[in-house]
Amino acid sequence: MTDDTQIEDGTENPEQANMAAGEPVAAGGEDASVEAQGASTERILNQEEIDSLLGFDVNDEQLQDKSGVRAIINSALVSYERLPMLEIIFDRLVRLMTTSLRNFTSDNVEVSLDNITSIRFGDYLNSIPLPAILAVFRAQELDNYGLFTVDSNLIYSIVDVLLGGRRGTAAMRIEGRPYTTIERTLVQRMTEVILQDMTTAFDPLAQVNFSLDRLETNPRFAAIARPANAAILVKLRIDMEDRGGRTELLLPYATLEPIRKLLLQQFMGEKFGRDSIWESHLATELWSTKLDIAAILDEQVKPLSKIMNLKVGDTLMLNAAPDSSIVLRCGDVPLLKGRMGRVGNSVAVRVDGAIQRTDASRAF
């Protein structure tokens, strides 16, 4: 009898028939078959879903906002949105750069602000596309440094424009060679123009002078902060008709710390902790406050033994005549001077003038 006949007649074990057909059978009867069916329907994450979970996306730029595990890792970074005045300063910088670079290149220059992000300094150094020129500048009043990166496209475009390159042709990029002295000098002049604009952009907020310290082509030699330190990254795009490139400005938070309170302002000239309504109310209440004033007729120094021997009926002679000048005090602070008199059945003091307060009396 063949195997097919045995299966149809039920004379052979069904598990043996399934094994003969190449289908695995889980032990445990119906429960085992249900578990096997559930295991076969489990969903496996593909590579795109795994990247989304971890916060990596090859289609996005490396410095964009992340989600997933990468967002948790970078959650310690301070967001630039907590420093509202930075955006106003950089918008002002873009307008100044547009005018100054037009005068510098004698060409139609358009400067645009791409984005402002927070990043760790070490991550930024690893993300710089080479070849590039890195300008390290010093903020003198802040006693710290910043970093200015110029990519190769902008370098060759500036050289082409300043040396009279023809319009309508893209800047020629030569790979595998270091930048020449002429290229470095022209980029240095452009960097000095931009740093002067930064000084002007910060003037309404604080007096900060930015000066060029050195030019580097290796990111390892442009380390101005620890790799884990947070920094502000500003991406700028400079277009000169059919030529142009990108430049990036990096300011560590340690550099901005001395003027952090000024950068926290929501608008220029904001006064923290001041409320004009409360100030007016406080001034009104102070004018209506009641004070106890003492009229001092005379002051004498007596031995303690004589004071202790005073009895009821003893008389102390004061060195004051009816027309003597007396002093009006509030606590220990002298306020007014006047003369003693009587109005009806009450003793009164006629004020002659105010007492000029000295620095010692103002300390009370």
Query: What pLDDT, in 10s, does the model give residues 278-335?
Result: 888 888 888 888 888 888 888 888 899 988 988 898 888 888 777 788 888 888 888 8
Angle between the N-to-C axes of helices 181-202 and 84-105, in degrees from 0 to 180, rounded to the nearest 10: 130
pTM: predicted TM-score of the whole model, two decimal places: 0.55
Angle between the N-to-C axes of helices 84-105 and 152-162, in degrees from 0 to 180, rounded to the nearest 10: 30
Q: CA geometry: angle at 193 spanning 102 and 78, to 5°? A: 110
* pLDDT computed for residue 215 by the predictor: 92
Instruction: Write down the CATH number for the domain with range 290-362.
Output: 2.30.330.10
* pLDDT computed for residue 25 by the predictor: 45
Q: Which residue has the higher pLDDT, 177 or 17?
A: 177
Give the confidence band of 198 by pLDDT, cuts at 50, 70, 90. very high
* pLDDT computed for residue 70 by the predictor: 63
For 247, list phi and psi in degrees, rounded to 5.
-135, 145
* pLDDT computed for residue 189 by the predictor: 93
Q: Name the residue ranges covered by the structural domains of the chain.
A: 3-40, 77-263, 290-362
Measure the CA–CA gap between 148 and 171, rounded to whole angstroms.
22
Contacts of range 94-99, beta carbons closer than 8 Å, 24 or more positions apart: 94/236, 96/197, 96/200, 96/201, 97/194, 97/197, 97/236, 97/238
Q: Check pLDDT > 90 for residue 192.
A: yes
Task: State the average pLDDT for the chain.
Answer: 78
* pLDDT computed for residue 26 by the predictor: 45
Please choose, from the candidates 299, 355, 352, 297, the residue with its C-alpha nearest in 3D space to the C-alpha of residue 322.
297
Beta strands per DSSP E along 181-317: 210-216, 230-240, 243-252, 294-296
* pLDDT computed for residue 273 by the predictor: 56
Measure the CA–CA gap between 361 and 82, rounded to whole angstroms.
44
The domain 77-263 is classified under which CATH number: 3.40.630.10, 3.40.140.10, 3.40.1550.10, 3.30.365.10? 3.40.1550.10
204 Cβ neighbours under 8 A, 6+ residues apart: 92, 268
* pLDDT computed for residue 340 by the predictor: 83
Lowest-pLDDT range of 194-198, 243-247, 318-322, 350-354: 318-322
Place of tokens 């489990």: 42
* pLDDT computed for residue 3 by the predictor: 47
pLDDT tens track for 9-35: 444 454 444 444 444 444 444 554 545
Mean pLDDT over 56-65 rounds to: 50
* pLDDT computed for residue 209 by the predictor: 92
In Å, what is the CA distance from 230 to each residue of 64, 121, 123, 316? 15, 6, 10, 77
- Using the Cα atoms of residue 305, residue 308, residue 312 and residue 318 in order, give the sign of their dihedral: positive
Lowest-pLDDT range of 49-53, 177-181, 301-305, 331-335: 49-53
Q: Please give the share of the chain, as a percent, with pLDDT higher than 90.
A: 19
